[in-house]
Amino acid sequence: MATTSEIKQQLRAQRIETPSWAYGNSGTRFKVFAQPGVPRTVREKIDDAAQVHAFTGVAPSVALHIPWDRVDDYAALAEYAEDAGVRLGAINANVFQDDDYKLGSVTNPDPRVRRKALDHLLECVDIMDATGSRDLKLWFADGTNYPGQDDIRDRQDRLAEALAAVYERLGEGQRMLLEYKLFEPAFYTTDVPDWGTAYAHCLQLGERAQVCVDTGHHAPGTNIEFIVAVLLRAGKLGAFDFNSRFYADDDLMVGAADPFQLFRIMVEVVRGGGLDPAAGVAFMLDQCHNVEPKIPGQIRSVCNVQEATAKALLVDRDALTAAQRSGDVIGANDVLMDAYKTDVRPLLGELRAEMGLDPDPMAAYLRSGYQERIAADRVGGAQAGWGA
């Protein structure tokens, strides 16, 4: 069993990336509710992300979404981020918000549209070159709404072709993260609906293609930690997009809906060596704060991932293995539950104090006056959002 100091060291080394779009307005197809103080520019998003890092100490990078975060000079943006205390992280390609993409992007039956989508993906790699980002995250909204609408297999061929072209373009030290999702916005077929499809494509592409697990993108009843364990075993787990859900892709704060599931996921991450920075597993948030304030929403989420990680690290591995090997069902379960039931907030408070941070990041942020300041200052202009 790890000592408290070893546990703290691992927690201190964990990196959780926040997404630029979490700081903008979001909503459902029914309504996007505006919130005061929401950023109008990429730089204001970076400022907000820097706050999350300032109070938690473990969120040192922010992911960009292109074209939402398109700027003229990415090097300057990277410098701006650096000055703010964070780095630019993964580049997220967006090939779902142009009228051309109504029937798909890289899988569209129309070759012209496919070419346009591919060009956007390649542009994203250009941006990575400029920002120094390691990861290109690919999520495709592609799919169909009606049986017969398009040919499932042809679309797989088109997908494979586009992925190969992008993979080919990747530079030294760059990776492609392929994300899967059960459904939405497509309602009949989705071209990358499950981990199996993502895995098969990544295997075909090569070792720099890895699977991204978004915790909200599965069918009801799916055992996500099993997928995590299997992907780690296969060396194909590239990243997490963390969030939580009760129903579909609710994109709630991670750990809000099923904290025990988040714990079990982190247990498999630890078990499979995924917490080791050398494993290259990126821990990213991908959330919408439709009704709650954005920065507090991110702070709470970062803390939730930390708490789950801390509990996972508390599992008495030797006792667990002994119970498992001897077929002691309740005993083995008890070892796991013992870690889960532990209140790790004191431990995390200590760690933060040691890192020179307030033990309670949420309270400290709320006291800081930043929220009131941006609400007062960020008046006028167009608030950032998904632009749907």
Q: Of the candidates 164, 250, 368, 370, which one interacts with a second copy according to CB under 8 A?
A: 250
DSSP category for residue 384:
P
Q: How many CA atoms lie within 13 A of 287 on its CB side?
A: 30
With binding defined as CB under 8 A, does residue 4 bind a second copy? no
| DSSP per-residue string spanning 292-344 | S-HHHHHHHHHHHHHHHHHHHHHS-HHHHHHHHHTT-HHHHHHHHHHHHHS--
CA distance 384 to 44: 10
| DSSP per-residue string spanning 256-295 | SS-HHHHHHHHHHHHHTTTTSGGG--EEEE----SSS-HH
Region binding a second copy by CB under 8 A among candidate stretches 8-16, 78-86, 179-187, 368-376? 179-187
Q: How far is the CB of 236 from a second copy (least distance, A)?
A: 9
Q: Which is nearer to a second copy, 105 or 131 (CB)?
A: 105
With binding defined as CB under 8 A, does residue 41 bind a second copy? no
Q: Of the candidates 277, 333, 353, 367, which one interacts with a second copy according to CB under 8 A?
A: 333
Region binding a second copy by CB under 8 A among candidate stretches 70-78, 130-138, 253-261, 351-359? 253-261
Q: Of the candidates 161, 207, 222, 355, which one interacts with a second copy according to CB under 8 A?
A: 222
Angle 88-92-95 (CA atoms, 0-180°, nearest 5)?
A: 150
Taking the CB of residue 254, how many other CB atoms lie within 10 A of it? 30
Q: Of the candidates 226, 235, 277, 350, which one interacts with a second copy according to CB under 8 A?
A: 226
Footprint of a second copy on 364-383 (CB under 8 A) = none
CA distance 20 to 61: 10
Q: Of the candidates 12, 119, 187, 277, which one interacts with a second copy according to CB under 8 A?
A: 187
Q: Which is nearer to a second copy, 88 or 358 (CB)?
A: 358
Footprint of a second copy on 277-316 (CB under 8 A) = 290-293, 296-297, 300, 307
Q: Of the candidates 252, 270, 314, 384, which one interacts with a second copy according to CB under 8 A?
A: 252
Q: Of the candidates 234, 353, 355, 376, which one interacts with a second copy according to CB under 8 A?
A: 234
With binding defined as CB under 8 A, does residue 320 bind a second copy? yes
The burial class, CB within 10 Å (0-12 / 13-18 / 19+), for 373 is: exposed
With binding defined as CB under 8 A, does residue 151 bind a second copy? yes
Q: Of the candidates 15, 40, 116, 271, which one interacts with a second copy according to CB under 8 A?
A: 271
**151 phi and psi angles, rounded to 5 deg:** -90, 120
With binding defined as CB under 8 A, does residue 39 bind a second copy? no
Compute the CA torsion angle 293, 261, 198, 106 (nearest 10 deg).
-20
